[in-house]
Amino acid sequence: MNSPFAQVSLADVHQDVARNIVSLRQSQDLFDDLTDDPAAWLLAQKVEAEVRPPSYRSHTPIIDRPFEDAAWFNAILWPFKHWQASRFSDGSFGVWYGSDSVETTVFESAYHWYRGLLCDAGFENGTVIAERKVYRVACSAALLDFRKATAEHTDLLHPTDYAFPQAVGARIHREGHPGLLIQSVRRRGGENVAIFNPGVLSNPRHHCQLTYRLEGARIVVEKHPGETWISAAVAELG
């Protein structure tokens, strides 16, 4: 069998991709749960600003930058600062995942929420609610296109065994490629990007808020409270 890299071409990607993360539907001020004293808030903000790592140069007016900084960190920088094992990483480096559509992010994130969190914690039979936030993020890069390679190298899309894709990801990381393009495992017809270099991502924008609700053997997703948008059987998630 040939190496999957022998069947890879470059995909010139210049488009928005969707990033789905854990969030709250109604956010709070950063320090208002620590104290009721406004003077203490100012001191906490000063300390936070002094220890915050520099991430990028911004052209946004300074009065709006706290919101931009939060979006940048949450939507882009987080996985590069908090490494975790995933399909294309063994946990020794960070990989950022995004999808071609919000719908694809729902099936991807619902799988990991249910299989990787609720089942492990013994909550798979109850009613559980989680809040998610979706960002649109600009991606501009020549990505390794693995979509044809998956026909021969089916383990790239194995639903649970990540050993082979992690080996592929290790080579991509070692050789300094910005990322890859591949089919979604959790949603038929969907596509994902795995990004190894945050420099190819920019302009994070809040797109929508979602509520996930586990109801027996189904996960119900709401864009607006009380209105079902997607309903999926957990057995369909892979």
Per-residue confidence (pLDDT) for residue 120, from 0 to 100: 66
Residues 230, 187: Cα–Cα separation, whole Å: 13
Written as six digits, the tokens of 39 are 């003077």
Q: Kindly report the CA angle at 13 between 7 and 16, in degrees rounded to 5?
A: 135
What ranges in the chain are assigned the alpha helix state H?
A: 38-51, 65-72, 78-81, 102-113, 119-121, 163-175
Per-residue confidence (pLDDT) for residue 2, from 0 to 100: 84
Per-residue confidence (pLDDT) for residue 68, from 0 to 100: 55
Cβ neighbours of residue 69 closer than 8 Å, sequence gap 6 or more: 52, 55, 58
User: pTM of the predicted model, to two decimals?
Assistant: 0.81
Residue with token string 């795995």? 194
Question: Does residue 101 sit in helix, strand or coil?
Answer: coil
Residues 197, 95: Cα–Cα separation, whole Å: 8
Per-residue confidence (pLDDT) for residue 116, from 0 to 100: 80
CA distances from 126 to 22, 63, 96, 116, 119 (A): 20, 44, 31, 16, 11
What does DSSP say about strands 179-183 and 9-22: parallel, antiparallel, or unpaired?
A: unpaired
> What range does the domain containing 91 cover?
4-237
Per-residue confidence (pLDDT) for residue 149, from 0 to 100: 96
Task: Give the residue from 83, 82, 100, 101 showing the smallest Cα distance to 92.
Answer: 83
**1-13: b or e for each residue (b if 16 or more CB lie within 10 Å)?**
eeebeebbeebeb
Residues of the chain predicted below pLDDT 70: 1, 24-69, 120-121
Cβ neighbours of residue 12 closer than 8 Å, sequence gap 6 or more: 142
Total structural domains in the chain? 1
pLDDT in tens, 96-122: 999 999 999 999 999 999 888 777 667
